Amino acid sequence: MNAPRPHHLADMTSEEARRAAEADTVVLIPAGAFEQHGPALPLGTDLVRAEGVVERVAARLDGRAVIGPALPVGVSPHHLAFPGTLSLSVDTFRAVLREYLAGLSAQGWRRILVVTGHGGNNAALTTVAQDLLAEEPGLQFAWTPLTPVAADAVARMPRGEVHGHSGEAETAQMLHLAPGLVRTERFAPGTTALSELDGLGRLARRPGHPSLQLRYDRLSPDGVLGDPSRASAGDGAAIVDTIVDRVTGFVEEWLKA
Amino acid sequence: MNAPRPHHLADMTSEEARRAAEADTVVLIPAGAFEQHGPALPLGTDLVRAEGVVERVAARLDGRAVIGPALPVGVSPHHLAFPGTLSLSVDTFRAVLREYLAGLSAQGWRRILVVTGHGGNNAALTTVAQDLLAEEPGLQFAWTPLTPVAADAVARMPRGEVHGHSGEAETAQMLHLAPGLVRTERFAPGTTALSELDGLGRLARRPGHPSLQLRYDRLSPDGVLGDPSRASAGDGAAIVDTIVDRVTGFVEEWLKA
Amino acid sequence: MNAPRPHHLADMTSEEARRAAEADTVVLIPAGAFEQHGPALPLGTDLVRAEGVVERVAARLDGRAVIGPALPVGVSPHHLAFPGTLSLSVDTFRAVLREYLAGLSAQGWRRILVVTGHGGNNAALTTVAQDLLAEEPGLQFAWTPLTPVAADAVARMPRGEVHGHSGEAETAQMLHLAPGLVRTERFAPGTTALSELDGLGRLARRPGHPSLQLRYDRLSPDGVLGDPSRASAGDGAAIVDTIVDRVTGFVEEWLKA
Amino acid sequence: MNAPRPHHLADMTSEEARRAAEADTVVLIPAGAFEQHGPALPLGTDLVRAEGVVERVAARLDGRAVIGPALPVGVSPHHLAFPGTLSLSVDTFRAVLREYLAGLSAQGWRRILVVTGHGGNNAALTTVAQDLLAEEPGLQFAWTPLTPVAADAVARMPRGEVHGHSGEAETAQMLHLAPGLVRTERFAPGTTALSELDGLGRLARRPGHPSLQLRYDRLSPDGVLGDPSRASAGDGAAIVDTIVDRVTGFVEEWLKA
Amino acid sequence: MNAPRPHHLADMTSEEARRAAEADTVVLIPAGAFEQHGPALPLGTDLVRAEGVVERVAARLDGRAVIGPALPVGVSPHHLAFPGTLSLSVDTFRAVLREYLAGLSAQGWRRILVVTGHGGNNAALTTVAQDLLAEEPGLQFAWTPLTPVAADAVARMPRGEVHGHSGEAETAQMLHLAPGLVRTERFAPGTTALSELDGLGRLARRPGHPSLQLRYDRLSPDGVLGDPSRASAGDGAAIVDTIVDRVTGFVEEWLKA
Amino acid sequence: MNAPRPHHLADMTSEEARRAAEADTVVLIPAGAFEQHGPALPLGTDLVRAEGVVERVAARLDGRAVIGPALPVGVSPHHLAFPGTLSLSVDTFRAVLREYLAGLSAQGWRRILVVTGHGGNNAALTTVAQDLLAEEPGLQFAWTPLTPVAADAVARMPRGEVHGHSGEAETAQMLHLAPGLVRTERFAPGTTALSELDGLGRLARRPGHPSLQLRYDRLSPDGVLGDPSRASAGDGAAIVDTIVDRVTGFVEEWLKA
């Protein structure tokens, strides 16, 4: 390593961290997952995407944000049937994040934003926000997923009837952010039509509520929803740029609020 | 009490419960909150609405569903500044529900649906679903909120720029389900325009992500978002009927899956 | 529902709850169980009885007490072999109650009385009282069972050598409080004589200490101790009235202490 | 130390313990407290009494019982205002005992009896018995207090209107079991009449239910209820002998059941 | 018992404990284990040795130290395959000790030293020290093992290539401290040479790091490492005296710091 | 990113992970800390060093080891007074690691080695090893620190009377592994002589036992023990090479055992 990565707290000295806290910077925490992403994407895909966004947002904010420690393993019980998947329990994921937040707060930060590349973390993140409302209302905690923030950009991509995990939009982001990690030679369509699902699978994929979750081995033999071969780096750039724009905009508004 | 309430497990004998479990019925669990609902609605509003829906759904399913024990107190840290609000911690709410589910599963039920009248329970419910994917994948657990299921019916009601807690749609449901509990003489508009909010409040009310939660005393002096005086029992009936239709439809599909 | 139930916090508005707390009312919390009660009584028997008493006590105290959220599921491991029985673990029952109490205390109440229809909750209630002595000594917490409070009235009823769960005294209370829930056509004697028990069963039913608990499927084939057909609504009224008198008297003395 | 104490597991070798477990012995566990016992009795009084009884019972059972590890600190929140008092939380006391029991069960014992010299442990002991009914129904767990087992012998002693902690009966037991630990020169009456208590104190000392617990500094300036100077070693011998007889009888019946 | 044991808090009255805390005494807590110690030593060996040292240190400090409640069962998962072994989980051992420490601190003590006869407790003791640095930095907590404190005295004893648990040094201490508990007629060499171990066993016994722990049934058929017959009471006296000197010296320095 | 990092599980696909598990590879987990490292080293120093070693060891083992998810935040209560320090509680650090290990075991790995750059994690790692002996004895878990493995190489460096955290040996490793992260212009001696410490500080730095831990703000004004300006990249290379040799040798022996 030839130089500290910009904005990363881990690469700062204690004194530099002190100045960053005193400058009332926002702390960005990237959260990922350690889970199957089909035949073509790596286990760490969600952290790669979260870190890609976080670094771009921090660069845009130029000194008004720092990047805190990552959450490299997320809440992934739905993928445990696939090799290589590791998952934290909800309780432990919550505990780790709460201790990160308590520590950052004790060191003087007042605004913390978790950027999660993994949707399975969303509910746990919301519950941590609820804990804080009761226990530490002075700390401002926000979180954001990635892909849903750019739903319009995603909607402009070619996609099949069923799409999602390791499919068109996620592959596109990886082709843009970390093309060297994508095994394009292994692209193969996963589940792309509702008719490939059984009754319970179709029920689980119904939009809206009631909500029923299933393990992904019931939804797709190779863990993929959609067809990654439809993805392009250009689509990925459009999605990532949209996310970065909107998250940056949110933080700028936050810093003024 | 002159007769057992139809479909309520609590009113059945052990032997009747045994037969219900053997008939592979769906268990419906109503979840509420014990929190401020402005000057006109009671603290128990969310359970009243959840029970109203659950009883109608059970009646429609006519023997294919039973009603289990309620969750009368929910996750309400955002309302703790208002008198009368009680809240379970996320950990305890999760523990209670998990023990209900483990018990019902041990007694032979395979499908359980929680119907929550309180949106603050949604994330905790999702995390319980995740726990079960890892620990008890044979149990089918679903959950649903109320108002979002009838978003189209709600959208047809007169509503202001800001609306939500104890506002038009929730009051309408109560006017239909439990008019005797609504203090119509105390109707008064709460926060109805974004301009009444401070910067952080507006950020918290932005649709979509990133997501930032605030305590409701920061959003509204009397805890109300919207104007309850716009609500009518007719609108409430439309909302409730839509919810009941859709939840019943979901369960019927589930029983066939 | 045509009107708020008298004294029930759940049916009050936030403002009404504020006034009740400021008036230094006692909060009554009914605790039940969700467990087998033999062929003739419903699973929810213990909550029905607790609520029946609590409502009568609140009526007698006329404004000096309010009724808080119920504990519909109790600690019932001894009945788990019978269909329909659900049980909270001791840890979770304790957690829920502690959070109810902490919330009520934060909202300004200083005196809380749990009325439990289920003896299996007694030890957990005592341990919560112990927790509070160490952690929140300013909160006054009391609890009471039902039937033991009227031991003299119970002793005047016809009873066999073995009596207890779902037997004479409990059935009598239900015939008085909720006759529509009693399946009188299913009355049948349970275990009524020590000679029906094996050695371990007799040891467990010895009065006094040492104390040895057994699961009820070892004590009675249908989960009943005693003969419910000996019960009358009149006996039930005598028992309930005695309990209501004594609990009301306790609270009146408490309010003066 | 010149020889292993009879029946104490701690003094046996692993091989001797193996033979004791194979002989299906009952394990006796003495539980005490580490709390104020007024001016004349030591902090460890409750363990001294429990161990005294346990050793006599084991001697009587002559090879059919062994003595396991002690619980030297109990649940004593009501005495924390007095110097020297230490208390385990209910959660930790429960955890320690559960791990003792799980370990003894794994090593082959099937019957375990806790003998507690401290009434503050009773509720926690009962909840552990409840846990086991759900989780390890094959293990037979019993527990007993001391003084209540000999209520008739105690009733024959001279006692005042208020009596109890560190008073007549407890002091008598110590004069019999460990006279060298009793500072007879410091005997002084504690609270001996209800009129010395305030209203809340009298409510707490009412026999029967509802039950309200208070810290002992509210009940007695020196932590004593009753008058220790009325105690004699002869009364103590009568109490202890009664307890030993009855506990031994219980175990003998148990071994046959 | 004819007199209170010197320096033992359990044998003091509340008033005596108050004076000891006000005199700013150090509290010594003996920690043991309840585990196999081969054919010749008792299960409670580690507590016997810890108490032996603690009593000598307290005697030497003459009024500047008191002895608190013991930890009779330690963290012994590596011995669970041998009869009679009981073990607390790390979590529970930590909880008990933390509550002892919190209680002693609340009663006014500022310096606490745990003396553990069992090396399996060392890591848990260190983690408790870490907890306190974060949570109660004003409390000074130290701990010490026994045998490693006298490594030089141990090195002067005759020992084989493999030595350790229940071997030369431990047996020697017992011959000095509690000869009546040593079954000298059962002395037999355990594992004494690396060649008796399999590959994993040798890896586990390598000095230094990386560190790999194995269950002792993999290291020795009778649970002994070394040859107890080489031990003498004289060697034990040398070891114990060295430990007592050094621990006493540490406390004297501490009291001046 | 242009290519997957060699041996990193996060960069593998699910299928590649499956093959790695089936090949019975050892999993290497780097553990760090997020804590002050004086004026010249970054907060993430310990993870940088652990990852540097882990990658070299994996390269040497060439296909017989994979690198699992990192533990970027460790147990650092002793540094909390310095800006930027974050710490996990012992309980949470233990929980995260246990869930990593359980997940890797479920995915088929049998040997896992944690390499910790932070000594504050050592005790927690040992307790996790103890947990596994009781709960999952089939999983082989080892851990190693860094600097103590090369004690001989460290002893050959120029060092002062007091040395340690962020001092000579740690700085040397960073100069070798990540020179771009070292602010050499900020090198300044920290505490280098015992005479700079107060009495308690000297007691805490005594070698051997008893062991007393202090917060580092009591030991050093800038958090450094030793003089970093004495460090050279060459010394760092000697230390790192020694560690890599010995850890690689350990794993090779392990794979044969």
Sheet holding B26-31, edge to edge: A211-212, B140-144, B111-116, B26-31, B65-67
Q: Is F39's CB within 8 Å of A106's CB?
A: no
Nearest one of F74, F10, F68 to F43, comparing CA atoms: F74
The structure tokens listed for D208 are 């029967």
The pLDDT of residue D167 is above 70: yes
Residues E11, E17, E18: CA angle, nearest 5 degrees: 160
Q: Is A124's CB within 8 Å of B129's CB?
A: no
Using DSSP, state whether D152 is helix, strand or coil.
helix
Interface test with E, best of D1, D78, D85 (most E CBs within 10 A): D1
Residue A1 to residue F180: CA distance in whole angstroms: 6
| Segment-wise mean pLDDT, segments of 10 residues, chain A, 257 residues | 90 98 98 98 98 98 97 98 98 98 98 98 98 95 98 94 96 98 97 96 95 97 97 98 98 97
Q: Is A1's CB within 8 Å of F178's CB?
A: yes
Share of chain F above pLDDT 70, in %: 100
Interface test with A, best of B114, B116, B130, B242 (most A CBs within 10 A): B130
pLDDT at C125: 98
For residue range E91-116, what is the model confidence (pLDDT) as tens digits?
Answer: 999 999 999 999 999 999 999 999 99
Residues E194, E197, E200: CA angle, nearest 5 degrees: 110
CATH class of F19-256: alpha beta
Q: Which residue has the tokens 């982001």?
A: A173
Alpha carbons within 13 A on the beta-carbon side of F31: 28
Sheet holding F140-144, edge to edge: E211-212, F140-144, F111-116, F26-31, F65-67
Ramachandran region of residue E174, left (φ > 0), alpha (ψ -120 to 50) or beta? alpha
B81, B215 Cβ separation under 8 angstroms: yes
pLDDT at A1: 60
Nearest one of D147, D115, D124 to D26, comparing CA atoms: D115
| Nearest residue of chain C to residue D197 (CA atoms) | C257
C67, C12 Cβ separation under 8 angstroms: no
pLDDT at E1: 59
Using DSSP, state whether A49 is helix, strand or coil.
helix
Q: What crossing angle do the helices spanning D45-61 and D168-177 adopt, rounded to 10°? A: 60
Please tell me the distance in Å from E91's CA to the nearest CA on chain F: 8
The structure tokens listed for A52 are 């890609």
Residues D14, D20, D22: CA angle, nearest 5 degrees: 105
Please tell me the distance in Å from E14's CA to the nearest CA on chain F: 29
Q: CB neighbours (10 Å) of residue D3?
A: 10
Q: How far is CA F15 from the centre of its chain?
A: 30
Using DSSP, state whether D103 is helix, strand or coil.
helix
Average pLDDT estimate for D159-164: 93
Pairing outcome for strands A211-212 and B140-144: antiparallel
A230, A158 Cβ separation under 8 angstroms: yes
pLDDT by residue, tens only, chain C of 257 residues: 679 999 999 999 999 999 999 999 999 999 999 999 999 999 999 999 999 999 999 999 999 999 999 999 999 999 999 999 999 999 999 999 999 999 999 999 999 999 999 999 999 999 999 999 999 989 999 999 999 999 999 999 999 899 999 999 999 999 999 999 999 999 999 999 999 999 999 999 999 999 999 999 999 999 999 999 999 999 999 999 999 999 999 999 999 99
Q: Which residue has the tokens 């929980």?
A: F95
User: What residues pair up with B143 in beta bridges, in sequence order?
Assistant: A211, B114
Residue A92 to residue A70: CA distance in whole angstroms: 15
Residue B127 to residue A97: CA distance in whole angstroms: 15
Mind giving me the DSSP string for B179-232? GGG--GGG----B-SGGGS-HHHHHHHSSSSSEE---GGGT-TTS-BS-GGG--
Residue type, D34: F
For residue range E222-234, what is the model confidence (pLDDT) as tens digits?
Answer: 999 999 999 999 9
- Residues in chain F with CB shorter than 8 Å from the CB of E150 are none
F166, F37 Cβ separation under 8 angstroms: yes
- Residues in chain B with CB shorter than 8 Å from the CB of A121 are none
Nearest one of C214, C228, C226, C227 to C79, comparing CA atoms: C214
DSSP type of residue D29: E
Nearest one of C166, C156, C135, C162 to C242, comparing CA atoms: C156
Nearest to B181 among C4, C72, C80 (CB): C4
Q: Which CATH architecture has domain C9-252?
A: 3-Layer(aba) Sandwich (3.40)
Residue D235 to residue E136: CA distance in whole angstroms: 47
Q: Is F13's CB within 8 Å of A39's CB?
A: yes
Low-confidence residues in chain E, pLDDT < 50: none
pLDDT at C160: 86
User: What residues pair up with A143 in beta bridges, in sequence order?
Assistant: A114, B211
Q: Is E210's CB within 8 Å of F142's CB?
A: yes
- Residues in chain E with CB shorter than 8 Å from the CB of F137 are 215
For residue range F1-13, what is the model confidence (pLDDT) as tens digits?
Answer: 679 999 999 999 9
Spell out the residues 6+ positions from residue A170 whose beta carbon is closer than 8 angstroms to its own.
A37, A41, A45, A49, A147
C-alpha separations of F65 from B4, B203, C163 in Å: 65, 48, 67
Give the CATH number of domain B9-256: 3.40.50.10310
Nearest to C210 among D123, D133, D143 (CB): D143
What phi and psi, each to the nearest 5 degrees, are found at residue C196? -80, -10
The structure tokens listed for B241 are 């009927």
Residue E160 to residue C210: CA distance in whole angstroms: 52
For residue E148, cis peptide bond before it (omega within 30 degrees of 0): no
Using DSSP, state whether B253 is helix, strand or coil.
helix
Nearest one of F10, B181, E187, F81 to A46, comparing CA atoms: F10
| Nearest residue of chain A to residue F81 (CA atoms) | A107
Question: Longest Cα pair distance anywhere in chain D, in angstroms?
Answer: 59
Nearest one of B93, C134, C48, C155 to A94, comparing CA atoms: B93
Sheet holding A65-67, edge to edge: A65-67, A26-31, A111-116, A140-144, B211-212
Q: Please report which confidence band the pLDDT of residue F36 belongs to, taking 50, 70 and 90 as the band edges.
A: very high
Would you report the helix, strand and coil content of chain E in percent, each value rounded to 5? 50, 10, 35
D213, D84 Cβ separation under 8 angstroms: no
CA dihedral F117→F120→F123→F127, nearest 10 degrees, is -80
Q: Is D83's CB within 8 Å of E21's CB?
A: yes
Q: Name chain A's partners: 3 or more CB pairs within 8 A.
A: B, F
Residue E243 to residue E250: CA distance in whole angstroms: 11
Nearest to C88 among B18, B80, B96 (CB): B96
Nearest one of C107, C98, A123, A137 to B89, comparing CA atoms: C98
- Residues in chain B with CB shorter than 8 Å from the CB of C23 are none
Sheet holding D26-31, edge to edge: C211-212, D140-144, D111-116, D26-31, D65-67
Mind giving me the DSSP string for chain C? --SPPTTBGGGS-HHHHHHHHHTTPEEEEEE--B--BTTTB-TTHHHHHHHHHHHHHHHHHTTSEEE---B-S---GGGTTSTT-B---HHHHHHHHHHHHHHHHHTT--EEEEEES-GGGHHHHHHHHHHHHHH-TTSEEEEE-SGGGGHHHHHTS---SS--TTSHHHHHHHHHH-GGG--GGG----B-SGGGS-HHHHHHHSSSSSEE---GGGT-TTS-BS-GGG--HHHHHHHHHHHHHHHHHHHHHHHH-
- Residues in chain F with CB shorter than 8 Å from the CB of E199 are 253, 256-257
Mean of per-residue pLDDT scores for chain D: 97
Residue A75 to residue F34: CA distance in whole angstroms: 23
The structure tokens listed for B39 are 């000057």
What phi and psi, each to the nearest 5 degrees, are found at residue E113? -125, 120
Q: Name chain C's partners: 3 or more CB pairs within 8 A.
A: B, D
| Segment-wise mean pLDDT, segments of 10 residues, chain B, 257 residues | 90 98 98 98 98 98 97 98 98 98 98 98 98 95 98 94 96 98 97 96 95 97 97 98 98 96
Pairing outcome for strands F211-212 and E140-144: antiparallel
Q: Is D43's CB within 8 Å of E83's CB?
A: no
DSSP type of residue D218: G
Pairing outcome for strands C65-67 and B211-212: unpaired
Pairing outcome for strands A140-144 and B211-212: antiparallel
For residue range F167-207, what is the model confidence (pLDDT) as tens digits?
Answer: 999 999 999 999 999 999 999 999 999 999 999 999 999 99
Give the CATH number of domain E19-250: 3.40.50.10310
